[in-house]
Every structure is written in structure tokens, then in C-alpha cells.
């Protein structure tokens, strides 16, 4: 029966929580999602986040995440699904930090299964709000960390990224500088993925290298927390970080609370939690596959690919994170992703169908009209002072021109800043909400000169978490199952769109006087 051996992936993203249930023979069997803005009005989020004193400070309340976790698991229980889940895995938005008092561990053990998490863990936080990946308020701390560790190239070589505003090290440093007394009360700093996994297993969960390397605190070669990097962030940090796991492992059975409240079997196990991008790498079947790259069009836009071995090239942009098999992934992140597309769509009162149709009907290259769509401070290229800039005669009244310009800008920025991730791929897999937009897929294929594929299941992060759970469970408990076997049965079968660009369209971007070089010049002028 399909329900015999099921695996659950949960993805807590910026704006929602999603659950995907898979069975190895039946692929994806169920999907559920809860949007934070709709379901939790008392937290006053917009797009899942709240702003701080300045727009560069972006937070969410971890109590809202706990409530969402409870709600989605109750949904699964009410659908009679939890009893057949053998293993589960958490995927979460990367980089967000959760600050916990020493009472956290004890509180997890004493939870009453008649009540939801959030009613019982109000008092465990030493900081009410968690800074998120969208926060860009720690430039000063990044400079201090860079100086302490010997310069940007050194930091990138050691930790996989230059000191980066949204990462844990500068965020923790800012907290320690501004609120030393609250930092003193902090016994544990979790990332979103390890916080949620802790709730599920009833004790402090380790962190995986997918999320752990996105902190500026780990040495990606020795594969452990680095003393100098931790000291550069805040005093006494090594005692406060979770254990770092190099590759996927089962981190324990679900807690008695989770079993009783949500109807899991007591021997249902959890794999270590991870970030949404490392999970998407798995959910797209790209673990072990370096020559196909991926683009996720979620709240953030990310470009990523698998890396087998680290090289020694110097780099000041992009990130190296761990991958579920103990190797690595390269990633470039853009903040002005879906939020920028949505802003342009809303300016002109368009639907997503209109947006896609305009992209399909207008000529590639936009007749040289270009937009730099920095609605928010941008991560890549680093630009802390936002603003929309138009070039080549693009005016605000030009509906079609602006739609095309925002989509082309995003694809061209990816092309320009992803060159270091490896040889240009012949095929790119596109996932998350924006992957339903045929117009966007077409623009990406034309700018990159590559075949583009999208999938029926666009929730690749939650799917990846479910596959990681299945892989960890099947390899420890029963028999040896390879990643590629799982990809074959769960991922590959459902390609939805396959788009191949024409040579003429590609030439418009990549040719000698092409739009890519023009865009690069515009970007330079803005920086
Ligand atoms: C990646 C990043 C974002 C978040 C959003 O480095 O910051 O993609 O993971 O979910």
C-alpha cells in the first residue's frame, strides 16, 4: 500500500510552511501549505516578515514558526498521514538565527501534548525576534569580522563566503554589541532548520553543513566550527552553537510529545535539518550532478549547482555551502526576486498570466531598454542603498518594456554573477513559485543559451527534505539505497516544461555587443 513507507518533508520558507509526503514507489502523494500572512494576522507580517527600526532590519517571530509547525502537523494528522511516516526532514529559509535560553532543552522535555508548542515555549527565547536572510543591517559587523580574519579573500577561503550581512556571524555580533545582557542569557543559537528540528525531536538538534557553512563561522575545509571565526563574531560562541554534521544523519526519533500530539509512531525518525537551497539541490535530483545547474524563483532568486571538490580560486562573491552527501554546493542569492517581479506586476495591475504573456510576445533584448530592479537592498551585487534605475530610453509608462526589463535584469544578473560556479551548464532546472511562469523560463533559457526545465512539483525544498529523510532512513534501517535511485523514482518523472532557446535570441544577449555587456555596464555605474 502507498501509505506503508512514507516520508515527510517540511519547508519553512519566508512566507509559508509547506509539507510534502512521498512514498518511494508512488512519488509525491500529498502537499499542504499555510501562508503566514493569512494564517497568523496577530504577528503583523507582510510577506512573512516584519521590519525593524530601519528597512534594512528584517525579522520574524520564531513563535509564529512554532505555531505554523503545529498547525501543519495537525493538518497531516487529520488527513491520517502521520502514522505512516517513517522519517521526516526539515528544510528552512537559510541564515535566520534563533536565540534561546538554557531553559529551552528542559522545556522541550516537559511539553504537554494537549497543547501546541507556541503556548508552552513563550519564555524560552532570549531574543524575541529572529533576524532573517533579508536583513542587511550588519555591514559594520561584516567589516569588523573581515578585519579580524585578515581580509575578504581570507574570510571567503576559510568560511566559503566573504563576511555577509545576513549570515549568523555578523548577526550574532550585532546582537552581542547592542544587547550584551541578552547575549549573556543566550545558551543556544539555532538556525531556523535546527530550531524546528529541535521542536520535533524534543532536544537541541545539530546543524548540517548546508546551513552551517552559511554562517561565516565554519571552516569549510576542516569541516568544523572555526575558533577564530567564532571569536571574531562574539565571545563564548563555541558553547552556544549546535553540533555541526558534515553529511546527512538521523538525529533521533520524534519526541514523545510529537508522537502523541501529531500521531507519529514513536520510532519515526528525523534527519538533520537543512537550508531550503541545499534541500532544493536534492529535490531537483542534482546531488552528484555538477553539469546541470538550478534556479529557484522563490521569495529570493537563487542560482546553484553541485560541487564535488573545492578549488583554490579566489572569490569575493557567492557562497559555498555543504551538500547532503558531505560534498558542496555553489550558490548565488538575489534579494530582488519575486518581490521585484510582483512590484512591477502590481504597478500595472497585471495578472501573472499577463506578465508571462508579455514576456512571450515581446522581442528578446527589449530594444536595449534596461532596468536595475533594486526595489530592496541587493545581495548580489552587494548594494545597500536601493532604488530602481532605468536605461536605454525605458520610461515608467512603458508597461511591456518594464515587465520585460525586470525579467531580463534578473536573468542577466544571474548570468553575470554565476560564472564562478563552474562551466556554463547546457541545462538549467527551474523551481519554486516563479517556475510556473513560462515567460520567465523562456527569458532564462535565452539569456543563458541553455535548455530550461521546470517540474510539476515546484516545492523542491520540501521534496528534497522528504528525500533526505527517505535516504537517511533507508540506509540506516533497511538496505542501501543510492541518491540516484531515489531521484529516479521520486523526481525525474515529472518534467513539466522543456524550453530550448533559438540561436538568434541567445545572440541578442551573448553576442559581442549583446545586452549582457550593456547590463554589466549599467550595473557598474550603479555600484
Ligand atoms: C540563500 C538565501 C535565501 C534564503 C531564502 O543564501 O539567503 O535563498 O535561503 O529562503
What pLDDT sits at residue 25? 83
What pLDDT sits at residue 2? 38
CB 63 within 8 A of CB 83: no
Length of the chain equals: 527
CB of 302 closer than 6 A to ligand 1?
yes
Grid cell, residue 68, equals: 505554523
Query: In Å, how far from its chain's centre is CA 157?
Result: 22
Where does 164-292 have alpha helices with state H?
Answer: 168-178, 180-184, 192-201, 209-212, 227-233, 256-262, 276-283
What's the 522 CA to ligand 1 centre distance in angstroms?
25
What pLDDT sits at residue 4? 63
Q: Residues 30-66: pLDDT tens digits? A: 999 999 999 999 999 999 999 999 889 999 999 999 9
Q: Which of 131, 160, 302 to mutate to test the pocket of ligand 1 (most atoms within 8 A of CB)?
A: 302
What's the 201 CA to ligand 1 centre distance in angstroms?
24
Cα(339)–Cα(349) distance, integer angstroms? 15
CB of 335 closer than 6 A to ligand 1?
no
Tell me if residue 338 falls in helix, strand or coil: helix
Cα(93)–Cα(31) distance, integer angstroms? 18
What pLDDT sits at residue 1? 36
What pLDDT sits at residue 493? 61
- Count CA atoms within 13 Å of residue 190 on its CB side: 29
Tell me if residue 326 falls in helix, strand or coil: coil
Give how far Cα 122 sits from Cα of 26, 58, 117, Å: 40, 21, 9
| Short-list 96, 120, 95, CA closest to 213 | 95
Which is it for strands 244-245 and 207-208: parallel, antiparallel or unpaired? parallel
What pLDDT sits at residue 3? 45
Quote the radius of gyration of the chain (alpha carbons, Å): 22
Q: Which long-range contacts (CB under 8 A, 24 or more apart) does 500-503 make?
A: 500/445, 500/451, 501/442, 501/445, 501/446, 501/449, 501/450, 502/446
Cα(230)–Cα(242) distance, integer angstroms? 13
Q: Which of 36, 93, 331 to mutate to test the pocket of ligand 1 (most atoms within 8 A of CB)?
A: 93
Q: Which atom of ligand 1 is nearest to the CA of 14?
A: 10
Cα(218)–Cα(198) distance, integer angstroms? 21
Q: Which atom of ligand 1 is nearest to the CA of 133?
A: 7
CB of 213 closer than 6 A to ligand 1?
no
Cα(372)–Cα(394) distance, integer angstroms? 11
Grid cell, residue 230, equals: 567564532
Q: Which atom of ligand 1 is nearest to the CA of 461?
A: 10
Cα(433)–Cα(296) distance, integer angstroms? 8
Mean pLDDT of the chain: 95
Q: Which of 213, 283, 300, 465 to mutate to test the pocket of ligand 1 (most atoms within 8 A of CB)?
A: 300
CB of 14 closer than 6 A to ligand 1?
yes
| Short-list 328, 261, 273, CA closest to 464 | 273
CB of 275 closer than 6 A to ligand 1?
yes
What pLDDT sits at residue 5? 85
Full-model pTM: 0.96
Grid cell, residue 55, equals: 528597512
What pLDDT sits at residue 494? 64
Q: 37-73 burial, b if ≥16 CB within 10 A, otherwise e?
A: eeebeebebebbbbeeeeebbbbbbbbbbbbbbbbbb
CB of 280 closer than 6 A to ligand 1?
no
Cα(469)–Cα(11) distance, integer angstroms? 13
Grid cell, residue 25, equals: 514507489
Mark the ranges of the chain whose per-residue pLDDT is less than 50.
1-3
CB 441 within 8 A of CB 12: no
- If 0-12 CB within 10 Å is exposed, 13-18 middle and 19+ buried, where does residue 30 land? middle
Amino acid at each position: 500500500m502507498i501509505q506503508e513507507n512514507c516520508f515527510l518533508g517540511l519547508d519553512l520558507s519566508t512566507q509559508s510552511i509547506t509539507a510534502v509526503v512521498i512514498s518511494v514507489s508512488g512519488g509525491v502523494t500529498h502537499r499542504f501549505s499555510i501562508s503566514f500572512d493569512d494564517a497568523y494576522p496577530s504577528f503583523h507580517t507582510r510577506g512573512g516578515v516584519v521590519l525593524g527600526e530601519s528597512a534594512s532590519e528584517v525579522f520574524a517571530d520564531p513563535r509564529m514558526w512554532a505555531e505554523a509547525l503545529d498547525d501543519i502537523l495537525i493538518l497531516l494528522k487529520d488527513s491520517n498521514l502521520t502514522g505512516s511516516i517513517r522519517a521526516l526532514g526539515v528544510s528552512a529559509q537559510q541564515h535566520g538565527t534563533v536565540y534561546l535560553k538554557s531553559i529551552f532543552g528542559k522545556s522541550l522535555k516537559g511539553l504537554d501534548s494537549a497543547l501546541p508548542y507556541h503556548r508552552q515555549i513563550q519564555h524560552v527565547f532570549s531574543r524575541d525576534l529572529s533576524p532573517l536572510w533579508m536583513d542587511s543591517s550588519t555591514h559594520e559587523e561584516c567589516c569588523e569580522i573581515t578585519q579580524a580574519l585578515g581580509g575578504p579573500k581570507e574570510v571567503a577561503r576559510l568560511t566559503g563566503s566573504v563576511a555577509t550581512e545576513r549570515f549568523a556571524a555578523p548577526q550574532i555580533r550585532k546582537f552581542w554589541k547592542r544587547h550584551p545582557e541578552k547575549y549573556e542569557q543566550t545558551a543556544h543559537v539555532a538556525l531556523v532548520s535546527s530550531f524546528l528540528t529541535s521542536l520535533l525531536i524534543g532536544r537541541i538538534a545539530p546543524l548540517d553543513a548546508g546551513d552551517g557553512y552559511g554562517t561565516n563561522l565554519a571552516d569549510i575545509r576542516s569541516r568544523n566550527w572555526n575558533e577564530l571565526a567564532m571569536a571574531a563574531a562574539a565571545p563564548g560562541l563555541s558553547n552556544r552553537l549546535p553540533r555541526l554534521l558534515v553529511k546527512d544523519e538521523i538525529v533521533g526519533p520524534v519526541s514523545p510529545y510529537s508522537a502523541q500530539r501529531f500521531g507519529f509512531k514513536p520510532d519515526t525518525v528525523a534527519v538533520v535539518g537543512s537550508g531550503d537551497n541545499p534541500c532544493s539541490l536534492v529535490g531537483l535530483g542534482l546531488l552528484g550532478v555538477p553539469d546541470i545547474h538550478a534556479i529557484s524563483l522563490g521569495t529570493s532568486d537563487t542560482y546553484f549547482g553541485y560541487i564535488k571538490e573545492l578549488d583554490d580560486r579566489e572569490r569575493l562573491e557567492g557562497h559555498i555551502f555543504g551538500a547532503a552527501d558531505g560534498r558542496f554546493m555553489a550558490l548565488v542569492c538575489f534579494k530582488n526576486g519575486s518581490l521585484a517581479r510582483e512590484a512591477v506586476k502590481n504597478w500595472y495591475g497585471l495578472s501573472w498570466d499577463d506578465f508571462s504573456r508579455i514576456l512571450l510576445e515581446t522581442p528578446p533584448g527589449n530594444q536595449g531598454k534596461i532596468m536595475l530592479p533594486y526595489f530592496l537592498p541587493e545581495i548580489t551585487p552587494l548594494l545597500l542603498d536601493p532604488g530602481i534605475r532605468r536605461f536605454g530610453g525605458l520610461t515608467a509608462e512603458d508597461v511591456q518594456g518594464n515587465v520585460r526589463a525586470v525579467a531580463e535584469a534578473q536573468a542577466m544578473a544571474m548570468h553575470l554573477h554565476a560564472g564562478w560556479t563552474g562551466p556554463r551548464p547546457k541545462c538549467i532546472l527551474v523551481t519554486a513559485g516563479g517556475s510556473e511562469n513560462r515567460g520567465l523560463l523562456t527569458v532564462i533559457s535565452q539569456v543563458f543559451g541553455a535548455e530550461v526545465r521546470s517540474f510539476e512539483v515546484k516545492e523542491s525544498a520540501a521534496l528534497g527534505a522528504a528525500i533526505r529523510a527517505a535516504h537517511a532512513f533507508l540506509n540506516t534501517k533497511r538496505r542501501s539505497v543510492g541518491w540516484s535511485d531515489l531521484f529516479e523514482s521520486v523526481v525525474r518523472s515529472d518534467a513539466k516544461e522543456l524550453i530550448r532557446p533559438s540561436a538568434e535570441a541567445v545572440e541578442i544577449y551573448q553576442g559581442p555587443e549583446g545586452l549582457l555587456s550593456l547590463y554589466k555596464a549599467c550595473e557598474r555605474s550603479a555600484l
